[in-house]
Amino acid sequence: MHIFAKSALGTMMLCSSVAAAQAQDTYNPTLLDEELSIIENAAKIPELTTFVEALMASEIAAELIEGGDYTVFAPTNEAFAYLPDGRIDALLEPENADELAEIMGLHVAGSPLRAEDLEAKVASAGPIETLQEDSALTVAEIEGQLHLQPPQGDQDAVAILIPDIVAANGVIHVINRVMIP
C-alpha cells in the first residue's frame, strides 16, 4: 500500500475513534427509554440535536412518528459540522424541503436492523434499502467496526459509532458522517 494511502487510512481510523469516544461521552443510556419513539430518544442525546432538527423539518418525521419499525442512522452534530458553511441552514429552509427529505431518507431504513443484523449483511453482501428511493446502503466491517457505504461510490465509508439504541418503533445507530444521496 502506498505510504500516503496508509497515512490517510490511519488518519480516518483515528478520527473515527475520536468521534466514537466523543459520542460515547455524551451518550447516557439511562436517559433513554425503549417505550419512547426513535425521535423522542434521539432528542435526549445531546450529540444528535442537529439531526433531530433536520429530521423534524423533513417529511420523514411524520413517518417515524406514525409508528412502524425503522432503523435510523443518526449523524452526530460534529458530522453536520463537516458540511460546507451554511449548508445545514440552507437545507432547513422550506424551499429546500425536497432535498432535505432525500438526505434524511437515506438515513432511514424501513425495517429494524440491530448490529447483529448489520453483521449478517456484511457476510451476505445484502443491501439495506432506505426510504430514499433507489438508494441502498451496503455494510462493511473495517478493523472490527461496522461501516456503511453510501450509494454514491465516491463517499468514504461511514462509521457506526454507537449501535443499537432501541426505541418503541425501531433502532438508532449513531454515525460519524452525513450521507448525501
- Of residues 33 and 38, more confidently modeled: 38
Summarize pLDDT for 48-103 with one digit per residue, the tens: 999 999 999 998 998 888 778 999 999 999 999 999 999 999 999 999 999 999 99
Residue 71's contacts (CB-CB under 8 Å, 6 or more residues apart) are 108, 109, 111, 112, 113, 128, 170, 171, 172, 173
Query: Which domains occur in the chain, in start order?
Result: 3-175 (2.30.180.10)
Prediction pTM value: 0.84
**CA angle in degrees (0–180, nearest 5) for 153-159-163:** 130
Q: Count of alpha carbons within 13 Å of 128, Cβ hemisphere only?
A: 31
The 8 Å CB, 24+ separation contacts for 29-35 are 29/165, 32/165, 32/167, 34/166, 34/167, 34/168, 35/168
pLDDT at res. 16:
44
pLDDT at res. 21:
44
Binning pLDDT at 50, 70 and 90, where does residue 149 land? Answer: very high
Summarize pLDDT for 5-28 with one digit per residue, the tens: 333 333 344 344 444 444 445 556
Summarize pLDDT for 45-63 with one digit per residue, the tens: 999 999 999 999 998 998 8
